[in-house]
Structure 1
């Protein structure tokens, strides 16, 4: 770190935001875990249907995460510039954008649901039926889910990660309890599982809207939609959408390549990829602190403070990556047993976990840099960089297929992907193009 191992006031600020953010990030997967645990006891076709529907819903969530990231950076920048009224106005327009996008996406999803399910669900009619039921009911909660993202973005932007954590945890627990009552108590099946999540998401969205309404009243902001502001948000979100799409596309290609290598390899890849995803959520806590603090510093015309904070976050990203890497390496012989009893899959997964463990320090720095540049609003660069890194991953994967190489080489391609992101973002951070100051970028 830039000032060695000595704890500074900057570290206090980073972790004041990062710890609650970590709690919220870990709480988010509890929705899916609760559904999986409960639906899995109903039957295998229901669990298969949940897997298909959840993959569609999680993709929608990932594609629209810009509502949180973009709002955080914009609100933090306005807050730093002392533009509290404009920050509250930004929150209102983010809610309108989320609501509009959620309604449109839900309607389109409802119409296309049979096609989407058929494309992903194989040929088992029971699985397809359960997937369709779960997906169509869940789509009623999609506007609320996107409103939640916008609400989280506003609160993070005003340097508050505690309330999003409280809502994430409370709604996850409420979802689980309601699901138990409806599914087991009233024997309502997979549809009740989806309905429980819709109710929890709607309640959480209502809490965020109430908090934002308080801020609006305090600063006397108009609640009506502002087409110009919404358009500006959508344009900023477009770059983040491209970035996320490029990332998702590259990672999806790895699944297809793993399937070509072999069934055991695919199973091991899936297990290890899920573990890697959870670790990414943990490492993302520093990135979220970066989004809020960097935006605040640049809005306040403090580019050197932004750079100092960025260096500190890079250091903490590396430290966090080393810590999670050591844990993964230590547990690599044991973790696969939690997911499968197949000896061949266990051996492959244990081997791939070595790749994950040794790659964690790089991942920690990459995620920290992501947060710094998102906080700076340097979104066009991030989109282009992710496309470039994605091309490296896809080319590496195709070489693995052409050479008939094993699953370890596919993970070597993933290392190359992360290394490319690292080099590109470090190069960007070393310059000053990202340090645009003032209320607007």
Structure 2
């Protein structure tokens, strides 16, 4: 049976987009891994404070989820329907929203910084002051963080591959060079990490805005488009909130277990986020291509892409699992020399390795369904997995002294529940909605 040439073209395009997304996604977590390694050698307390600060930043960043994924989905449908101008306009309106929302988040975050830090650190007073100081500095970059998300969103929607790679690599490369210099030779310690982080966000946001201005000089806010983005964004924000609430509970439980546990959890979470974002490269390619295929009313191509991205993501997840299994002794030593932290890292390691092949499929289908605009289902399955599996197991680990391994068993259950729900959904026709409107 002869394969549809349109599908062949889409698969080739998916590889190109996935490669671009891989490079963009790798830049941020690679910088965070460098930063974690730099801070880790300041001691377990500094690493634990960094864990608290980065967790809070991730929680607040959920308000901008839709300016990236929602923009990709909407822009891709216009692009598939040969309306590139309207696709780029999605990026303009998302950027306006990013600035407004970012400023609000900075103000609210600064007012609540103390209570938020204490919520995670509990009675661990040695972590509170450095974590709050790091958080207050990094928080000032939130408008830039959201502008970068919006920039990535519209560029992926119109299938630009080179520009976002250059922008993100330049910004994070400069920051990776600045972090060790600020932390050690200039003597800023932990806060040097926060200033390096802020610098990367300013550079990246400026470069994305420059690229957008070249495409759409002088375009004004459009409240109708913004309203439509917010409607789509509502479910994406709730979905992201379920993620971050669960991860916040896990970080809080780990912090209360002890300094070694929260430090090991920080190492595990940075590696997890690094791997998750790299696995997301196929998902992001699927967002763009599935959205474009449905916008052009090519249902069969969209379904073929869903199957292809699932297979590739599973293979990538399995490959990462093999690498981490082989490096179980060596990799944690890149981040700490503390015997207590290393021991706790080895406790969580088997859970980390086992979940990765299933996570690959989950992330791939996540991209397919976001590209199709099926975000209400994604919201529901994420809430069910977080509140029905992840959070209960994490709290049980605290109550019955299961240790850090219990927290990571909860994360594994979170992935498995989503896997079952999303595979079942992908086998139906309910997500295959055609047209650009």
The TM-score range, normalised by the shorter chain, is: 0.7 to 0.9
Aligned position for 2:420: 423
1:224 aligns with 2:215: no
Q: Structure 1 residues 28 and 83 mapped into 2: Cα distance closer, same or farther (>3 Å)?
A: same
Q: Structure 1 residues 114 and 240 mapped into 2: Cα distance closer, same or farther (>3 Å)?
A: same
Q: Which moved more, 1:394-403 or 1:361-370?
A: 394-403
Tell me, in whole angstroms, the C-alpha distance in 1 between the residues paired with 2:335 and 2:180.
Answer: 23
Q: Structure 1 residues 271 and 200 mapped into 2: Cα distance closer, same or farther (>3 Å)?
A: closer
Q: Structure 1 residues 417 and 102 mapped into 2: Cα distance closer, same or farther (>3 Å)?
A: same
SS at match of 1:29: helix
Aligned position for 2:249: 253
Tell me, in whole angstroms, the C-alpha distance in 1 between the residues paired with 2:288 and 2:315.
Answer: 20
2:367 is aligned, of 366, 371, 376, to 371
Q: Which moved more, 1:53-62 or 1:207-216?
A: 53-62
Equivalent residues in 2 for 1:117-136, closer than 5 Å: 117-120=117-120, 128-136=128-136
| Alpha-carbon contact 2:44-2:338 (below 8 Å) kept | no
Tell me, in whole angstroms, the C-alpha distance in 1 between the residues paired with 2:85 and 2:314.
Answer: 37
SS at match of 2:369: helix
1:165 aligns with 2:162: no
Count of residue pairs the alignment pairs up: 431
Tell me, in whole angstroms, the C-alpha distance in 2 between the residues paired with 1:42 and 1:271.
Answer: 14
Superposed displacement of residue 126, structure 1: 7.9
1:15 aligns with 2:15: yes
SS at match of 1:174: helix
1:436 is aligned, of 424, 429, 433, to 433
Q: Structure 1 residues 395 and 45 mapped into 2: Cα distance closer, same or farther (>3 Å)?
A: closer
| Alpha-carbon contact 1:257-1:401 (below 8 Å) kept | yes
Aligned position for 2:386: 390
Q: Structure 1 residues 326 and 30 mapped into 2: Cα distance closer, same or farther (>3 Å)?
A: closer
Tell me, in whole angstroms, the C-alpha distance in 2 between the residues paired with 1:70 and 1:191.
Answer: 33
Q: Deviations over 1:284-319 (max 9, x none)?
A: 111111111111111111111100011000110111
Superposed displacement of residue 432, structure 1: 1.2
Superposed displacement of residue 361, structure 1: 1.5
The two structures have a TM-score, normalised by structure 2, of 0.86
Q: Which moved more, 1:389-398 or 1:36-45?
A: 36-45
Q: Which moved more, 1:308-317 or 1:405-414?
A: 405-414
1:113 aligns with 2:113: yes
2:231 is aligned, of 211, 232, 235, to 235
The two structures have a TM-score, normalised by structure 1, of 0.86
1:360 aligns with 2:352: no
Q: Deviations over 1:130-151 (max 9, x none)?
A: 4444433333322111111100
Aligned position for 1:144: 144
Equivalent residues in 2 for 1:336-347, closer than 5 Å: 336-341=332-337, 346=342
Gaps of 5+ in 1: none
Tell me, in whole angstroms, the C-alpha distance in 2 between the residues paired with 1:391 and 1:196.
Answer: 35
Superposed displacement of residue 200, structure 1: 2.9
Aligned position for 2:324: 328
| Alpha-carbon contact 1:21-1:162 (below 8 Å) kept | no
| Alpha-carbon contact 1:392-1:416 (below 8 Å) kept | no
Q: Structure 1 residues 87 and 357 mapped into 2: Cα distance closer, same or farther (>3 Å)?
A: same
Superposed displacement of residue 119, structure 1: 3.9
Equivalent residues in 2 for 1:33-48, closer than 5 Å: 33-36=33-36
Q: Deviations over 1:355-402 (max 9, x none)?
A: 332322111100000000011111111001111111221334455566
Q: Deviations over 1:315-346 (max 9, x none)?
A: 10111112112222222243334445565764
Root-mean-square deviation over aligned CA pairs: 3.2
Q: Deviations over 1:142-168 (max 9, x none)?
A: 211111110011111111233222111
Q: Deviations over 1:63-84 (max 9, x none)?
A: 4232111111111111001121
Q: Structure 1 residues 259 and 178 mapped into 2: Cα distance closer, same or farther (>3 Å)?
A: closer
Q: Structure 1 residues 50 and 348 mapped into 2: Cα distance closer, same or farther (>3 Å)?
A: closer
